[in-house]
Structure formats: structure tokens, C-alpha cells
Amino acid sequence: MGCQTCPKGIKATLSPTRAPKLMRIGINALPLSRLQAGAARVIRSVIEQWRKIDSDNSYILYSDRDFDLPWENDRWRKRIFSPIPLLPGTLWLQTAGRRIIIADRPDVFWSTANILPLGLPAGMAKVVTIHDLIWPLFSKTADFATNCMFGLFFGRSTRQADRIIADSQSTARDLERLYAVPQAKIEVIYLGVGAGFVPHDPRAASEYVANKYGVARDYLLTVGTVGPHKNLITLIRAMKILRQRGELSAQLLAVGARGRKNSREFEAIHSSGLTAEDVRFAGFVPEEDLPLLYSGCSLLAFPSLYEGFGLPLAEAMACGAPAVASNTSSIPEVVGDAAVLVPPTEPQAFADAILRVRRDPDLRQTMIEKGLRRAACFGWDKAARQLLECLYKTVREKHSGA
């Protein structure tokens, strides 16, 4: 029986039902060779679990650049091929990558990040993971190349895939609404929280973060790339409100890609009167530091306008950090009643929620306890087993003509 605090559909144990024959599984490994932290962490976490639970099937990981695979052997091998240097990954997947995938003819190809190589053989099972629909929902803020690539390949990928993996029910609903994807074609598989995401002593953690990242020992944390849909502007305005009222002395530490220095977020900081002492940007950080960053913060502030899942929220809960977050997209689905949720476009609401969580020790303790229980619902072992079962099911249906 699943945990009562878990989102509907999460199961405590899953066991793959074997297909009639062993499978050769092809994997789009492009994110492993690039600075795509979120997608790379998902792939790495899943294949590490598959290595533990699956001693039968063989795996081929495709990329145009080399990457680390510590357990490469007869069942696990890389296919690195790049006849045209510096070709964008999406174009490589549709050209050179597609050719070697067709030549290898795996039983099933798992495309790991939103776009499928088009024109794969009809007899090959095709599964694509769509983490979110940021591109169609925020296309006006994307650059020209991204709009071209997604415009050409995203919709066609949803049609050519035999099955689509969505990170949340929210993303599944968006696929149905925006791309008319049949509900029966979508499988919701929640992301997992790594085993290293556990609570650390808050004082020791904040001391470590202060020394390494030059931030005050009392800090709020936000995690995510600085970009329009992450909505850092609301958090900056909330910080300004609290500063003006003299109700907050803590710094804000932002972890993730910084974006352009002339972006709206940096302009908002400048125009608000906040300084580098108020808002500190750490950029990308080693994954092993994240549990300490979560454990040492007074709370995680997550004002995102849209999330396909919201992995920082699950990780923060696992580390005992209370969260103030937006009440949009997949976020309520992931946190349940373990976080304070407010409208993402209301700085005053964010400011009030931050102050409430910081000043009410009973509320903080309740949130921490609920968060730990909630985070226990999200494990990479569960996600990997569900995904492997999905690949088996797709191959069976392909062979049976279903």
C-alpha cells in the first residue's frame, strides 16, 4: 500500500513484467555530455538504478560527445559519433544520431528530453520523456534557435512516440490540452530524490555554506536557472518589501545558472535598491553541496510560474527545509500540504508567507515533518522500475500490434 501522503498513483513497490525476449534499449544520452544539470541528473539516476535491478537487458547510450560511464561493459556501451563538430544536439539527434540508432535497431528507444528522433523504423518502440512544456508556454522569451528547433520537432515528437512519459499529472494535462495527446498514450512517472538528500545539522550546514559561498549564516535559498518562468522578480520584490519594513535581515542565495547580466531579473535587483549583499548568486554548484545548502537555509523560496515537476522542492523537503512556493502547475501536486503556497505574481503574499514561516517555530516544525514524509514518496528506485515497466509494456504492445 502506498504512503497516504503521496500523490495518487505512486506505488510502494513495482516489479517489471518481463517481455517475451530480452530488450536492447537505446537511450538519448546527449544531456550527459552537456551542462544540462536537471536532465543529466535524471538520466544518471535512472540508469544507476537500472544497473542495480536489471541483469538481463542491454543498453546503448547515444551522444555526439563523450561522457563518463563508469560501468561500461558488454551490456552497457556508449555510441559516440559526431561527423559534424559543433552541430546543435537537437539537429544531431535528427541527423547523425538518427542514422546510427536506425543502424543499431534497438527494440526500444528512450528519448530522454522532450524531442524524439523523427522517422525511426515503424517496428522500433519509441518512448519520449517530456519534462515540461516550458517552450510552448513561454516561447516568447526563448531565443530564435530554440523556437525553431522546438517548432520543428516538438509536436511531431508527441505524434510519433508510442508512449510519452510525463513528470507529473499537471504536465500530462498540458499535453492533452495543448497537443491533443490521448490520455492513454501518457504515463506519469514522478522524479526521485537521491539517497544523499537527507537532513544535516542546520548550524553546521549554514557554517559550511557561509564559508564556501560567502553568504550570511542566515539565508533564504532559491534554486533554479535565472529565467522568466522561474519568476525571481516576485521574490526580489518580496525581499524589498521585507527590507523596507525592517522585518528581514537574511540574505537571499540563488543557486543555478545566472543568465544574462542585463536580464529583467538583474535589472529588478538594481531598481529595487537591493545590493549584492542582499541577493547572492552562486551559479551552478556541485550536487554534493545541495543537501547542505537545503539543510542550512531558513527556508526554500520557490516563486516559479511553471514547473513540470519541481525537483528542488522534493529535495528541500527531504533535507528538512520548509518551503514557500507558488500555487501553480505541478507544485501543489508535489508538495501537498507540506509547503506554504501563494500566488506567484503577488510579492506581498510571498513576503507575508516568508515572514510567517520564519517567525512561527511550530509551523516550521510541522512543515519539516510533513515535508520529510512527503519526500519519502519520491525515490529513484520507484521511478526507474516504473520506467522499465513502461518500456516493456511499449515493446509488448508494438509486437502484438496493439
Domain 24-192+380-400, second-level architecture: 3-Layer(aba) Sandwich (3.40)
In sequence order, which residues have a C-beta less than 8 Å from that of residue 245 and are 6 or more positions away? Answer: none
Does this chain's domain 24-192+380-400 share its CATH topology with 202-375? Answer: yes
**Fold category of 202-375 in CATH:** Rossmann fold (3.40.50)
First and final C-alpha spacing in the chain = 30
**Using one digit for the tens of pLDDT, what is the confidence trace for 161-217?**
999 999 999 999 999 999 999 999 999 999 999 999 999 999 999 999 999 999 999
Residue pLDDT, tens place only, 219-236: 999 998 777 889 999 999
Per-domain residue ranges of the chain: 24-192+380-400, 202-375
3-state class of 331 per DSSP? Answer: helix
- The Cα–Cα gap between 230 and 331 comes to 12
pLDDT digits (tens, 9 = 90+) for 4-30: 567 765 443 344 444 446 899 999 999
Which residues have a Cβ under 8 Å from the Cβ of 236 and sit 6 or more positions away? 252, 265, 268, 269, 272, 274, 279
- Whether 334 has a pLDDT exceeding 90, the answer reads yes
Using 50, 70 and 90 to split pLDDT, how confident is the model at 263? low
Please say if the pLDDT value at position 281 is more than 70.
Answer: yes
Residue 69 neighbours by CB under 8 Å, 6+ apart: 61, 76, 78
277, pLDDT greater than 90? no
Find the mean pLDDT for residues 381-396: 96
- The 10s digit of each residue's pLDDT in 202-219 is 999 999 999 999 999 999
DSSP code per residue over 215-267? --SSEEEEES-SSGGGTHHHHHHHHHHHHHTT----EEEEES----TTSHHHH
Which whole number is the average pLDDT over 138-142?
A: 80
